[in-house]
Amino acid sequence: MRVAPLRCSVCNAPRKTGQCFKCGSQTTPAVDGWEEPELPPIDRIRQLAKEVGYAIGVHGSLERDLDLIAAPWTDDAVGNYALMEHIAAGLGGKIEEISRKPMGRYAATIQMDGYYKQIDLSVCPCEPKEKMYEGD
């Protein structure tokens, strides 16, 4: 008999034991036939971001969603919304939500077409809020 995989419903993530190591909740067996969604292709996202002047860093545990940090990397980097749209379109997906984050970041939740974990793309601002170090 196949044993159902355990999941934490609070963290929405797979777990190996009866108690979630992260939040302490009791885990529950996944519903019959449950399969974890695939991670979206990080290399493809990096390539899409590079096309419009951004570099991508992976941040977080990769278990619930794919947490990414996008940093403007070239002088001709597009604006944050154009980056979000370029990545969503390039994956055949869509932007589901955009929220404001500390220090001028904006984060987009992107769902790629197919059975994939969501992408949480946090985009750093292009313009510094304070005067930056520019040499002596």
Counting contacts by CB under 5 A, is residue 55 touching Zn ion?
A: no
6 or 95: CB nearest Zn ion: 6
| For Zn ion, the closer CB: 29 or 57 | 29
Instruction: Report how far residue 126's alpha carbon sits from residue 123's, in angstroms, rounded to the nearest whole number.
Output: 9
Dihedral, CA atoms, 14, 10, 116, 44, nearest 10 degrees?
-90
In sequence order, what are the residues at sequence separation of 6 or more whose Cβ sits closer than 8 angstroms to the Cβ of residue 69? Answer: 56, 57, 58, 59, 122, 124
Q: What is the nearest approach in angstroms of Zn ion to the Cβ of residue 4?
A: 17
Of 14 and 79, CB closest to Zn ion: 14
Q: Is 88 in the site for Zn ion (CB under 5 A)?
A: no
Q: Which residues in 12-31 contact Zn ion (CB under 5 A)? A: 20, 22-23, 25
Whose tokens are 């990096």? That residue is 46
Chain residues in the site for Zn ion (CB under 5 A): 8, 10-11, 20, 22-23, 25
